[in-house]
């Protein structure tokens, strides 16, 4: 089985006062101290301040612009947020609750370098604050120091204290975190690939496997990387030449073995686990080729989103055969793969998803070379019609429902396509006696929706 993802958990620490929340109005509403008091009066006054604080300070206190969005950004990346503050813990908890701040832990009553213990205990790798003392706490914990000059320190004072990053305010944090997490995951990917030593990438020409192939070349050099592209009836002919050209430009060994998934009964039967038999055939063919050509491992382009996308029998088949999943292990999502591909100048960064032709056949309808050829002819013909009509559909699928075809296009083009009689003519000419345009538009994995549908809705 492929190992579990190895990306370290993302934990971000936040200071509270003057970082997440503006406590000045609350303090002003609570303070009743005269300008001068003898020393013996200070302790009673502090105690009085704490007594009155909950009733006077919580309501006027507001979150800084971007505070909720910053916390949401951490959650979006699957991370945890911890508030580490010098404020009295019960009072800090009242602010967090009153403002609906989405945090996982709150540690109060700690200052400066004392915060390092809390940050370390909870595994925080980033600490966001507004003061030089926050910088000291981050550095003592070995965490990245991110500063916002919304408190008593200027940006220059924060830089002089050694902060790693200065943002304008928390509104800039989500974009910064996106870049930070992507860079972190790309480093993890590189480390993983280097550790593999050499790899044969199961390469379809799609955005994920193309990115993995390019990343492997960056990490290992082209001489220790191979591209294994399986040729079968399920791979559209239109995908083959561009895929080979990309691999050749990278200078890697290219292997194009013939796979015979059609000879597997479970694949032809096309139940919900069809992808299991497809991936099993692919890995059973590529693994011996990898050994023969001196590659230590076979890797697939499975990403972090794929691993949590629900019903994925193909992932199980690959894991059972020891295939590596570097993108998933590094935590890279589909969007991050495309973002990194774009920054690297890869032509596949915006390539539409291109699942195999068999994914167009409704579950329970037998897969055959005839059906796959009919689907490929139909999609090619419809694209030609749409180009002539000036309709720029990015995503297009012809779904073979057994006795009829269902055409899916991007939702914004459904009406335009429905108004073109040539579209249905093209489907009929490709060999479908009955055809329609799906009013719901293109949906990746829409065939999975039919697994639980009553027959009358299929």
CATH of the domain at 147: 3.40.50.1000
Over residues 138-178, the pLDDT tens digits come to: 999 999 999 999 998 999 999 999 999 999 999 999 999 99
- 39 belongs to a structural domain: no
- 45 belongs to a structural domain: no
What is the total count of domains within the chain?
A: 3
Residues 153 and 212 in one domain: no
Residues 76 and 111 in one domain: yes
Please tell me the predicted confidence (pLDDT) of residue 448.
64
Residues 342 and 213 in one domain: yes
Cα–Cα distance between 191 and 408 in angstroms, integer?
A: 40
Please tell me the predicted confidence (pLDDT) of residue 235.
84
CATH number, position 373: 3.30.70
Last residue of a domain, one of 150, 180, 210: 180
DSSP H helical ranges for 198-250: 207-220, 237-250
Cα–Cα distance between 220 and 201 in angstroms, integer?
A: 13
Q: What is the pTM of this model?
A: 0.84
| Backbone dihedral angles phi then psi of residue 152, each to the nearest 5 degrees | -90, 0
Residues 173 and 300 in one domain: no
In this structure, the chain runs to a length of: 458
Residues 204 and 340 in one domain: yes
Cα–Cα distance between 325 and 329 in angstroms, integer?
A: 6
**CA 260 vs CA 187, 273, 354, 367, 370: distances in Å:** 37, 17, 20, 13, 15
- 53 belongs to a structural domain: no
Please tell me the predicted confidence (pLDDT) of residue 54.
54
C-alpha angle 351-400-316 in degrees, rounded to nearest 5: 65
Task: Kindly give the parts of the chain with pLDDT less than 70.
Answer: 1-8, 25-57, 309-311, 445-458
Please tell me the predicted confidence (pLDDT) of residue 327.
97
Cα–Cα distance between 133 and 112 in angstroms, integer?
A: 4
Residues 145 and 68 in one domain: yes
- 6 belongs to a structural domain: no
Residues 98 and 160 in one domain: yes
Residues 373 and 348 in one domain: no
Query: Which SS3 state, helix, strand or coil, does residue 10 take?
Result: coil
- 328 belongs to a structural domain: yes
Residues 332 and 243 in one domain: yes
Residues 309 and 389 in one domain: no
CATH number, position 278: 3.40.50.620
- 48 belongs to a structural domain: no
Report the Cα 331 to chain-centroid distance in Å. Answer: 7
Residues 243 and 157 in one domain: no
Q: To which residue do tokens 């006696």 refer?
A: 433
Please tell me the predicted confidence (pLDDT) of residue 233.
86
Cα–Cα distance between 436 and 418 in angstroms, integer?
A: 8
283 contacts: CB under 8 Å, gap ≥ 6: 202, 298, 317, 318, 321, 323
Please tell me the predicted confidence (pLDDT) of residue 400.
96
Please tell me the predicted confidence (pLDDT) of residue 7.
59
- 221 belongs to a structural domain: yes
Cα–Cα distance between 21 and 15 in angstroms, integer?
A: 9
Task: Provide the phi-psi class of 325: left if phi over 0, else alpha when psi is between -120 and 50, else beta.
Answer: beta
- 35 belongs to a structural domain: no
Please tell me the predicted confidence (pLDDT) of residue 397.
95
- Contacts of 421-424 with C-beta under 8 Å, sequence gap 24+, read 422/385, 422/388, 422/389, 423/382, 423/385, 423/386
Last residue of a domain, one of 123, 147, 180: 180
Residues 249 and 138 in one domain: no
- Which residues span the domain enclosing 331? 197-354
Over residues 199-245, the pLDDT tens digits come to: 999 999 999 999 999 999 999 999 999 999 999 988 888 889 999 99
């Amino acid at each position: 089985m492929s190992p579990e993802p190895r990306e370290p958990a993302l934990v971000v620490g936040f200071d509270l006062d003057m970082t997440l929340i503006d406590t000045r109005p609350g303090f002003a509403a609570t303070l009743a101290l005269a300008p001068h008091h003898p020393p013996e009066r200070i302790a009673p006054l502090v105690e009085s301040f704490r007594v009155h604080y909950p009733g006077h300070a919580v309501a006027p206190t507001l979150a800084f612009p971007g505070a909720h969005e910053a916390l949401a950004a951490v959650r979006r990346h699957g991370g945890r947020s911890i508030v580490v503050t010098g404020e009295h813990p019960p009072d800090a908890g009242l602010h967090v609750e009153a403002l609906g701040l989405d945090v996982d832990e709150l540690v109060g009553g700690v200052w400066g370098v004392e915060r390092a213990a809390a940050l370390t205990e909870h595994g925080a790798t980033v600490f966001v604050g507004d003061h030089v003392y926050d910088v000291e706490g981050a550095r003592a914990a070995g965490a990245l120091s991110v500063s916002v000059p919304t408190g008593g320190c200027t940006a220059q004072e924060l830089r002089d204290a050694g902060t790693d990053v200065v943002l304008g305010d928390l509104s800039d944090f989500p974009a910064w975190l996106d870049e930070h997490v992507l860079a972190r995951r790309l480093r993890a990917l590189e480390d993983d690939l280097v550790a593999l030593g050499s790899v044969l990438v199961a390469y379809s020409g799609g955005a994920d496997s193309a990115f993995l192939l390019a990343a492997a070349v960056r990490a290992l050099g082209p001489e220790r990387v191979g591209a294994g592209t399986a040729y079968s009836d399920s791979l559209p002919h239109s995908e083959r030449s561009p895929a080979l050209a990309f691999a050749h430009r990278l200078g890697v060994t290219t292997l194009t073995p013939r796979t015979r998934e059609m000879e597997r009964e479970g694949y032809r039967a096309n139940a919900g686990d069809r992808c299991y038999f497809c991936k099993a055939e692919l890995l059973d063919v590529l693994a011996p080729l990898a050994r023969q050509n001196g590659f230590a491992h076979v890797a697939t382009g499975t990403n972090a989103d794929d691993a949590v996308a629900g019903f994925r029998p193909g992932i199980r088949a690959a894991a059972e055969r020891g295939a590596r999943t570097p993108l998933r292990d590094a935590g890279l999502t589909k969007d991050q793969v495309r973002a990194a591909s774009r920054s690297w100048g890869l032509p596949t960064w915006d390539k539409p998803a291109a699942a195999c032709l068999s994914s167009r056949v409704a579950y329970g309808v037998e897969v055959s070379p005839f059906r796959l050829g009919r689907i490929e002819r139909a999609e090619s013909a419809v694209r030609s019609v749409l180009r002539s009509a000036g309709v720029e559909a990015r995503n297009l699928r012809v779904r073979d429902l057994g006795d009829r075809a269902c055409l899916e296009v991007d939702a914004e083009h459904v009406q335009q396509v429905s108004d073109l009689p040539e579209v249905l003519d093209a489907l009929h000419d490709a060999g479908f006696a009955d055809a329609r345009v799906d009013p719901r538009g293109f949906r990746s994995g829409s065939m999975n929706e039919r697994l639980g549908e009553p027959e009358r809705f299929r």
